[in-house]
Structure 1
Amino acid sequence: MGSTLQSNFTTESRYIVRKVGQGDNKEQIINWNEVKEYSDGLFMCAMEGWMRAEGIPLQKLSHAIKRLAVHLKDEQKIFFNEDQELLAAETADKKKSTLMAFFDLNQFSKEKYGEKITDNKDDSRNYQYSEIPEFFTFKIPERQWCFKSKKGKSALGRIYHVPVKEKELYYLRVLLHHIKGACNYEDQRTVNGIQFETNHDAVQYLGLLADDQEWIFALNEAATLRMPQQLRELFVYILLFCNPENPQNLFNNFITQLSEDFLLKNNNDEKLSMWLAFLDISEIYGDTYPPLDTMIKCQCPDSYDNQFEYSANVFKTNDQILTLENLNDTQRIYAQEIINAVKDESIIQRCFFLDGPAGTGKTYTYNVLNYILDNEGFNVLNCAYTGIAATPLPE
């Protein structure tokens, strides 16, 4: 038995008509095929299309890369677990690096084939260190190089990078690329029967080092055109970014030009002026690695004591005599008030203001105060609201 619901509300009829007549309610679905989109957007040249059609592989690893260690004598890397330092030190000689094994391989070839290098391909002395992986395989358990079988995978050697600032290690790396058949570190720095004390000397004898002539030309040219302060800045830039071969020689050859302004201010005292120039170079150089004192040595003179302690505030002022006697009466009163306030902590007034038209000597008064207080051991910091106002003030 059906039932009938009577409704007198016109709003319900409108709702029913609207729902019946609106049609299907379907969501739009985007079928995103990322593989197809990539294939459709991929550019393929004629050569690649031909290789794909012929089934020729586009990518292939032809050679394995063998990383070769480089280190100075008894400075090889050793890996060990925590609390096993003593055991690691005792077994360090057994855990040979690829370089140590290379020396052993050459020693074995020497004992097998004699002192003279033979044409036998098994004689490792025919190859440089970087060429060894092409003919030998490094066996990790035995820590030694073994001759590679015909089925062995092709390999290329790559010696680890060494920064130029690690000088002896860097020169050892250079020698490994040029000298064959070395059985130890001493043989590696032996050239034409001459055993050199350092790797640097051996590399220099082989003519593999560029000299500092370029930096000498640069400093000579700058010395004729620029002030000593700018010359010292250039010298620091050469040390930081150009890796000169002999920084000490550069410093010794140009010390007169580098310290010329200090010579004029210190009655031509060469040793003191040289030391002050070295201190200024140290200040510009900063805390950069390697430390400056590892590249340049300069002896502190006996005439240098605390009263001459270097400060840019003292030595970069004008050539005028900075004393209270050179101030006029108003300037002198102002300067004396400030000096008294600095020395006497009981004085309550600690803030002073100097006003006057342009050219009346305000900056000169500041310089006098700076010079006097700095010489008496006080730390002085000059500040200004703008760069233009700060320019005439001591640094």
Structure 2
Amino acid sequence: MLLIFETNDKLHNLDDFDSVVRAEIPSQTDEPRLYEAVICHMIHGPCGLLNPRSPCMRDGICKKKFPKPFTSYRTRENDSYPIYRRREAASVPVSENGQVMVDNGWFVPYNPWILLKFDCHINVEVCGGIKCVKYIYKYIHKGPDRVALELRNGHNCDEIQQFVDGRWICAPEALWRIFCFEFSRMYPSVFRLQIHLPNQRQLDSAQMNMKVIYIIGDHDNSKTMLTEFFTANHDTSLTERYLYREFPQYYRWVQSQKKWVPRRGYNKVVGRIYVVSPSEGERFYQRILLNHVRGPRNFEELRTINGVVYTTFKEAAEYRGLLQHDYYVRHCMQKAFSVKFSSSLRRLFVSVLLQRLLHQHKMKLRDFDLPHISVQFLDESPLPRIIEEELAIQISDEDFRSVENLNSQQRAAFGSVVQSTMCNHHKLFFIDVPGGTGKTFLYHSILAYLRKKEKFLIAVATSGIAATLLPGGRTAHSCLKIPLNPTVETL
């Protein structure tokens, strides 16, 4: 349960935390009822040396980080929950026999009034950091859970297993749903706006008996929020030309008709274009133009400045002066700070940094160090994400032990590839043998062995099915940004 205080009741300083949350054993003389409730309900475990088989133990360490260290003051931990006061005091027995003794490091934070009121375990925390707030709001607004269904023939069904696998709803949530109470409310409502490049179709649904040629040929399937925004701007009766993000304030989107109609009500609506990473190239610069160009009637007009139609959205944004300064970079990071977590922010920051540096120095890099690598690939490739995903790949013991089971021909190929890699000899190997002779088994051995040696490898295959057979495998089109319809200019 998330409680948001009124402005006058908020906890503005660390001393206010004691009035709401405690993490110490109370005095048995001054507060006997609270002392009994804390001993009964608010002790963690015990775990660690006192109980190594506790469910919270992972690799010999408590995953909840108990017991907590002693501290005589309160402080804010970096971007997380606060550190509550836990003064060093005499240990108290957990049970009547007194065999297990605990100190203030073992008590879960609690609220005295709530604990005495309900007489059960209720953990209370102060959400004092931005990381906690992001987590809580994302968690309660993530939408309902999803259920996996399996269809079977016949009447043989295990009702007990179906009940176990089914979703469990607690009594308060069931009551809340029965009475149709609101789970959350957002005002003003936020309407998300689609963004896509020209000639890129959006996902749509169709009946199973419809032929693909009719689905593709249907003109209504090519209509999107963005294309109909361009169409609405052809209306000469519009007294004002709006930005794309301002349009939902005055018009509403009718999905059944796929068109914008004037808004009749007075409910306030805020439009937000979907976030686009700088690593996506043209789509990112198109979003910048849509946030600054009023009333464009087509994609071409979006790239037009003073009668000159520029080839790309990036060129148009540059000539409008939107990329001359670091405003768009600061704006992108500022928007990300409010919704993204630390790992996503780091990837975005490195991606922006690569975009800026490579844009300034790509000609020199082309002339000297990297004559064989496409600069376009460097500009658009999300290198930090690839590195992070590669380092996260788990090497199975079975793959690592498979080296011992290679036959003579596989071992010869294995030795040649590994020796070339360890000695930094740049070579290209082709393994051309019939299907079913052990190529995938050999690839698993090479990848596992070199990754154990802390070598950075990227497993790439020409098709999705082949990529799934390799640990951490990717398709060439996804990893190397190879266009699906290559031309002379893109190669």
Band of TM-score, shorter chain: 0.3 to 0.5
The answer to which structure has the higher helix fraction is: 1
Give me the TM-score of the superposition, normalised by structure 2.
0.34
Q: Which has the larger radius of gyration?
A: 1
Give me the TM-score of the superposition, normalised by structure 1.
0.41
Greater RCO between the two (CA within 8 Å, min separation 6)?
Answer: 1
